[in-house]
């Protein structure tokens, strides 16, 4: 049940949340309340999203803050 | 544009605040759910970004930003587009994360502020602090340091506060801490209509129009109509029988000028320069085609009046020749012969005889004139009456005389010095007047304050600045 496949809907949920709310800054606990999902499940997914460069993390541990990593496109426009 | 105030994005509210929120102020907007706090907050940021090029950040603890993006589309506001242009951010985080990041040098908060050059902040809502911090002391400390940080970055801020039916003991402390408090309410009005009202109960560094102002939620957001006591509205709706004083700032406070039939008292002291104020008011009446009854004083001679009038492009001798001014003279003085017929000399009369002349000659002349369609204005020098007729006379007859004049629809400007008149008589004169204008000198400045008006608006003390062109004074 804990395999990567089982996590896909939650990963999608997380990705969509950050995409739709690009200026959300969430701790794991905060996101857990927000989405109504277990913190320990979210922790793994967030780590994964960080590795995919979809989400950025500020800080470490319980106070680490996750937020959307704006696609290059947006930065490109700014320059 | 005044750079010291920040427009709220709600025109009517700016008028209530005489321009807007003083820059850098932290203001609470409180109200029950559904009163429009979120809307007001977004409108403040949206209009700030679009109309004033002032980037802003909306911090929400509870709402999902994408819900806000969607809701604001109803008002035609494309928030996502402004985010892409770096003019707006709708940020969501928890109060703890916010505070933690605010305290950190180089933290997320500072980064976000600098990234867009943020000038305006809205927090939705600070009520959430009470769930994040258990003890009241801690909540207070947090809000206090929060406010200090907002000040440090010179952010003009609106903190939204949810009201609940239970009055929290924290309320007064928070309201005390911030620079301004705006309260929104939603009241049942009739069976199927509810009245939305806004009241500014506190605003450091700004005058406010007190009272409850009605607002509506329209397709363009919040639309507020300042209550009728608003100075500007009075000007628009000024009745036709109101005559301007020639001093625009004064007319605004008076709702257009001085009504026919109104008794105004101007309280001056010897140091203050009242000449222009008084002449401006008289000139307004003359230009409106009114006839004047002027009490001469020991200080104002005909020739001085002549030169004062000339400054306002009026030829006193000509006006007198046309029979439009009558003088009451309490002194034996030489007067130019072209004025002789216009002067009623009462210097030899005792109080009894004086009363008779006033009634039989002067009031009946005005009465006759009014009956023939003339408009009249009386300049009543109470200083002279008090010194020549005595304060007993003033107490006995002043009220009767102004009431008589007023009943004819004639307005009176009573010139006096409350201090010299004594407390009791002044109080009486003040009560008999529809309006009171006070001017005094304090240090190197002259001030003017309108402390009583028929419509209930009063002014703060205004500075009297001497200027070179008409009306020669400006009220600041
Ligand atoms: N397009 C609209 N036209 C008229 N009223 C609206 C519109 N959108 C929202 N409202 C009204 O605005 C109110 C919502 O205000 P909101 O800012 O969310 O209140 P608060 O934040 O104080 O709870 C609701 O009462 C709703 O009826
Ligand atoms: Mg709200």
In angstroms, the CA B78 to CA B73 distance is: 6
Interface test with B, best of A14, A15, A21, A70 (most B CBs within 10 A): A21
Q: How many CA atoms lie within 13 A of B294 on its CB side?
A: 29
- Indicate the top mutation candidate among B31, B32, B34 to test ligand 1's pocket, ranked by most ligand atoms within 8 A of CB: B34
Q: Are B279 and B294 in contact (CB under 8 A)?
A: no
**What's the pLDDT score for residue B248?**
85
In this structure, which residue's CA is closest to atom 10 in ligand 1? B217
Q: Does residue A10 belong to any structural domain of this protein?
A: yes
Domain range for B49? 5-225
Q: Do B143 and B255 sit in the same domain of this protein?
A: no
Distance B397 CA to ligand 1 centre (A): 60
Q: Does residue A79 belong to any structural domain of this protein?
A: no
Please report, for the domain that includes residue A53, its CATH number.
1.10.10.10
The pLDDT of residue B149 is above 90? yes
Q: Do B308 and B220 sit in the same domain of this protein?
A: no
Number of domains into which chain A is organized: 1
Q: Are B296 and B330 in contact (CB under 8 A)?
A: yes
Looking at B198, B225, B252, the residue that finishes a domain is B225
Q: Does residue B166 belong to any structural domain of this protein?
A: yes
Q: Partners of B378 in the beta sheet? A: B293, B412
Q: Does residue A19 belong to any structural domain of this protein?
A: yes
Q: Which residues of B touch A21 (CB under 8 A)?
A: 64-66, 90, 92
Task: Note whether ipTM > 0.90 here.
Answer: no
Burial label, B444 (beta-carbon count in 10 A; 0-12, 13-18, 19+): exposed
Q: Does residue B237 belong to any structural domain of this protein?
A: no
Averaged pLDDT, B272-280: 86
Q: Which residues of A touch B93 (CB under 8 A)?
A: 24-26, 30, 65
Q: Do B337 and B443 sit in the same domain of this protein?
A: yes
Query: Which of B86, B90, B108 has the CB atom closest to A65's CB atom?
Result: B108
Alpha helices in B107-186 (DSSP H): 108-116, 129-132, 136-152, 170-177
Number of domains into which chain B is organized: 2
Q: Do B265 and B178 sit in the same domain of this protein?
A: no
In angstroms, the CA B409 to CA B258 distance is: 12
Q: Please report, for residues B262, B291, B398, the alpha-carbon distance to residue B405 in angstroms, rounded to integers and kept in the order given.
A: 9, 13, 11
Q: Does residue B232 belong to any structural domain of this protein?
A: no
Q: What is the pTM of this model?
A: 0.59
Q: Identify which of A37-51, B122-136, B212-226, B442-456 has the greatest average pLDDT.
A: A37-51
Q: Which residues surround ligand 2, an ion (CB under 5 A)?
A: B 38
Q: Do B188 and B274 sit in the same domain of this protein?
A: no
Interface test with A, best of B56, B91, B124 (most A CBs within 10 A): B91
Which residue of A lies nearest to B132 if distances are taken between CA atoms? A30
Pick the range with the lowest mean pLDDT from B122-126, B185-189, B229-233, B298-302: B229-233
Burial label, B233 (beta-carbon count in 10 A; 0-12, 13-18, 19+): middle
Label residue B9 by pLDDT band (50, 70, 90).
very high
Q: Are B309 and B285 in contact (CB under 8 A)?
A: no
Q: Does residue A78 belong to any structural domain of this protein?
A: no
Label residue B234 by pLDDT band (50, 70, 90).
very low
Distance B36 CA to ligand 2 centre (A): 7
Q: Does A53 touch chain B (CB under 8 A)?
A: no
Q: Partners of B26 in the beta sheet? A: B157
Q: Name the average pLDDT for chain B.
A: 88
Pick the range with the lowest mean pLDDT from B155-159, B232-236, B299-303, B461-465: B232-236
Q: Do B35 and B145 sit in the same domain of this protein?
A: yes
Domain range for A48? 4-68
The pLDDT of residue B172 is above 70? no
Q: Does residue A64 belong to any structural domain of this protein?
A: yes
Q: What is the DSSP letter of B358?
A: I
Q: Partners of B158 in the beta sheet? A: B27, B122
Please report, for the domain that includes residue B343, its CATH number.
3.40.50.300
In angstroms, the CA B230 to CA B236 distance is: 10
Averaged pLDDT, B204-215: 86
| Ligand 1 pocket residues where CB is under 6 Å | B 31, 33-39, 74, 217
Q: Please report, for residues B134, B344, B354, B381, B382, the alpha-carbon distance to residue B332 in angstroms, rounded to integers and kept in the order given.
A: 83, 11, 15, 17, 18
Q: Does residue B55 belong to any structural domain of this protein?
A: yes
Ligand closest to Cα of B34 equals 1
Distance B66 CA to ligand 1 centre (A): 16
């Amino acid at each position: 049940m804990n395999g990567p496949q089982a996590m896909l809907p939650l990963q999608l949920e997380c990705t969509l949340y950050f995409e739709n709310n690009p200026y959300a800054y969430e701790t794991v606990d905060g996101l857990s309340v927000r989405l109504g999902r277990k913190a320990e499940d979210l922790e793994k997914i967030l780590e994964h999203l960080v590795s995919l460069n979809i989400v950025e993390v500020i800080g470490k541990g319980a106070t680490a803050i996750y937020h959307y990593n704006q696609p290059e496109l947006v930065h490109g426009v700014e320059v | 544009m005044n750079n010291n105030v920040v427009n709220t994005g709600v025109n009517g509210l700016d008028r209530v605040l005489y321009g807007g929120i003083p820059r850098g102020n932290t203001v609470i907007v409180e109200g029950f759910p559904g009163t429009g706090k979120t809307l007001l907050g977004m409108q403040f940021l949206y209009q700030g970004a679009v109309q004033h090029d002032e980037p802003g950040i909306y911090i929400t603890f509870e709402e999902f930003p994408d819900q806000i993006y969607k809701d604001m589309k109803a008002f035609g506001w494309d928030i996502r587009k402004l985010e892409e242009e770096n003019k707006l951010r709708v940020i969501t985080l928890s109060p703890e994360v916010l505070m933690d990041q605010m305290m950190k040098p180089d933290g997320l908060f500072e980064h976000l502020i600098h990234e867009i050059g943020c000038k305006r902040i809205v927090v939705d809502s600070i009520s959430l602090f009470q769930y994040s911090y258990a003890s009241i002391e801690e909540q207070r400390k947090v809000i206090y340091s929060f406010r200090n940080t907002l000040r440090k970055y010179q952010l003009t801020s609106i903190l939204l506060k949810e009201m609940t039916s239970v009055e929290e003991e924290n309320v007064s402390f928070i309201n005390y801490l911030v620079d301004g408090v705006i309260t929104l309410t939603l009241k049942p009005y009739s069976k199927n209509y509810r009245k939305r009202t806004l009241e500014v109960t506190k605003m450091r560094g700004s005058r406010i129009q007190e009272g409850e102002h009605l607002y509506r939620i329209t397709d363009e957001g919040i639309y507020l109509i300042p209550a009728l006591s608003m100075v500007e509205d009075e000007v628009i709706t000024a009745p036709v029988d109101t005559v301007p004083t020639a001093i625009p700032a004064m007319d605004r406070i008076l709702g257009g000028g001085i009504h026919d039939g109104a008794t105004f008292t101007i309280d001056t002291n010897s140091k203050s320069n009242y000449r222009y104020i008084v002449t401006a008011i008289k000139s307004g009446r003359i230009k409106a085609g009114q006839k004047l009854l002027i009490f001469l004083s020991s200080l104002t001679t005909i020739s001085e009046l002549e030169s004062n009038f000339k400054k306002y492009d009026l030829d006193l001798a000509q006006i007198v020749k046309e029979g439009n001014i009558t003088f009451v003279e309490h002194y034996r003085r030489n007067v130019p012969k072209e004025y002789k017929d216009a002067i009623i000399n009462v210097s030899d009369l005792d109080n009894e005889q004086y009363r008779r002349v006033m009634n039989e000659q002067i009031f009946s002349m005005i009465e006759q004139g009014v009956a023939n369609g003339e408009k009249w204005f009386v300049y009543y020098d109470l200083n002279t009456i008090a010194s020549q007729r005595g304060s007993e006379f003033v107490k006995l007859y002043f009220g009767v005389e102004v009431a008589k004049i007023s009943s004819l629809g004639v307005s009176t400007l009573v010139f006096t010095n409350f201090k010299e008149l004594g407390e009791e008589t002044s109080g009486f004169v003040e009560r008999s007047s529809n309006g009171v204008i006070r001017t005094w000198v304090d240090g190197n400045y002259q001030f003017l304050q309108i402390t009583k008006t028929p419509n209930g608006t009063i002014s703060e003390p205004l500075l009297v600045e001497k200027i070179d062109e008409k009306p020669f004074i400006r009220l600041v």
